[in-house]
Structure 1
Amino acid sequence: MTMRHFLFFISFLFTTLAYAQDKYAVDVTSEDSIVKAMYESISGPKGQRRDWNRLRYLMAPGARLIPTRPASETKRVPCYLTLDDFIKQGDQWLTDHGFFEEEVSRRTETFGSITHVWSTYQSRWTPEGKPFARGINSLQLMNDGERWWIINLYWAAETEDNLLPKKYLK
């Protein structure tokens, strides 16, 4: 790579990052906006790829996405994913099937710059469709004085033997 190509690449990279910051800046201005943006970034119709750059902008460096998965009939375990792991596992499936997740209830606690959000969700195949799943997203958020970040996103789906408690529903 010549110096000219390298300088062009660096210029392109900074222009792209500045565009992303401007485009998604409103998503990180409040707890409400970052939670809403998280749901919007993973939702979309069949045939549409998700805006992974938007989700990347919301997540702190090193953040984890942690679904709980069955290890047996009675035991559940966390599955620790990087954002890249999550995208690799979900990109094609979300594009092929369509998926819409929305918040139906929220409980929030804050101490200083740390916020813990219990966000009850429901999932649909289409925006108007009947919900096929519900659960709770546990989001750890941080405000660094300039913006909000998702530090971790840990979730569990409702099951027949693990129903959502009423306090997490409207």
Structure 2
Amino acid sequence: MPPRSILPVLLAVAAFAISAPAAAQSAVEPEPADVATLDGIIAAVYGSISGPAGQPRDWDRFRSLMIPGARLIPTGAAPDGSVGHRVMTTEEYIQVVGPALEGPGFFENEIGRVVERYGPVVHLMSAYESLRTPDDAAPFQRGVNSFQLLHDGARWWVVTIFWSAETADNPIPDGLLGFGR
């Protein structure tokens, strides 16, 4: 517990932080349908990163979904079997991952979901499949995105996307599958 003399300052900072509307912090205006519902924001995330080979993605749309300070965290197994991760800002994700999405073609579709909500806070586990073209017979990859979302009273925001690709040793649980292809 902080000393009593610091407590009023900490409380004032916390009150200011939660009273500042998140929408005022975003430089890119979202499409209203993208942020009005959980379905809308999840579809907008997948839609903004998907597209044919060589086509730039809609990064302004992607930015408009992310709360300032949002984090994107891929995980994966190293050759020694340990699990690693990388924490990226929205801009780092666009710079680091963007070229890999745009090069060969990339379409990510949600194939199942589990939602837990407490007031304005949502944890949404979203099973996905990745395709090179929308007509591919089978995905080249599947996995699970863990979304943390916030409703600020006016719209939904993505706070974090934390994900892991499916492996033979770690298949997507049946409880996360249920709609889509």
Name the TM-score, length of structure 2 as normaliser: 0.80
For 1:87 and 1:65, the matched residues in 2 are separated by 10
Provide the C-alpha distance between the structure 2 equivalents of 1:96 and 1:136, rounded to a whole number of angstroms.
Answer: 22
Note the C-alpha offset of 1:70.
2.0
Say which SS state the counterpart of residue 97 (structure 1) adopts: coil
% identity of equivalent residues:
44
Q: 1:61: which partner in 2? A: 68
Aligned to 1:141: 149
Write the deviation string for residues 55-100 of structure 1: whole angstroms up to 9, x where unpaired: 1000000000000022343211221011111111122222221100
Report the residue type matching 2:73 in the other structure: I
What pairs with 1:7-26 in structure 2 (closer than 5 Å)? 20-21=28-29, 24-26=31-33
Q: Does 1:31 align with 2:38?
A: yes
Across the two proteins, how many residue pairs are aligned to each other?
151
**1:76 and 1:56 mapped to 2: Cα distance?**
28
Distance 2:153 2:109 in 1: 28
Answer with 89-98 or 117-126: which moved more: 89-98
Question: 1 CA distance for matches of 2:43 and 2:174?
Answer: 22
Whole-angstrom CA distance in 2 between matches of 1:94 and 1:71: 22
The structure 1 segments of at least 4 consecutive aligned residues displaced by more than 3 Å after TM superposition are: none
Identify unmatched segments of 5+ residues in structure 2: 1-26
Give, in angstroms, the shift of residue 153 of structure 1.
Answer: 0.3
1:108 corresponds to 2:118: no
How far residue 26 of structure 1 moved from its aligned partner, in angstroms, is 1.5
Amino acid of the structure 2 residue aligned with 1:47: G
TM-score for the superposition, normalised by structure 1: 0.85
Q: Of 92, 116, 132, which residue of structure 2 is paired with 1:85?
A: 92
- RMSD of aligned alpha carbons: 1.3
User: Which residue number corresponds to residue 156 of structure 1?
Assistant: 164
- Aligned pairs for 1:95-134 within 5 A: 95-129=102-136, 130-134=138-142
Give the partner amino acid of 1:89: V
User: Which segment is superposed worse, 41-50 or 159-168?
Assistant: 159-168
For 2:70, the aligned partner's letter is A
Task: Identify the residue that residue 47 of structure 1 maps to in structure 2.
Answer: 54
Secondary structure in 1 aligned to 2:128? Answer: strand
Contact 1:69 1:79 (8 Å CA) reproduced = no
- Measure how far apart 1:146 and its partner are: 0.6
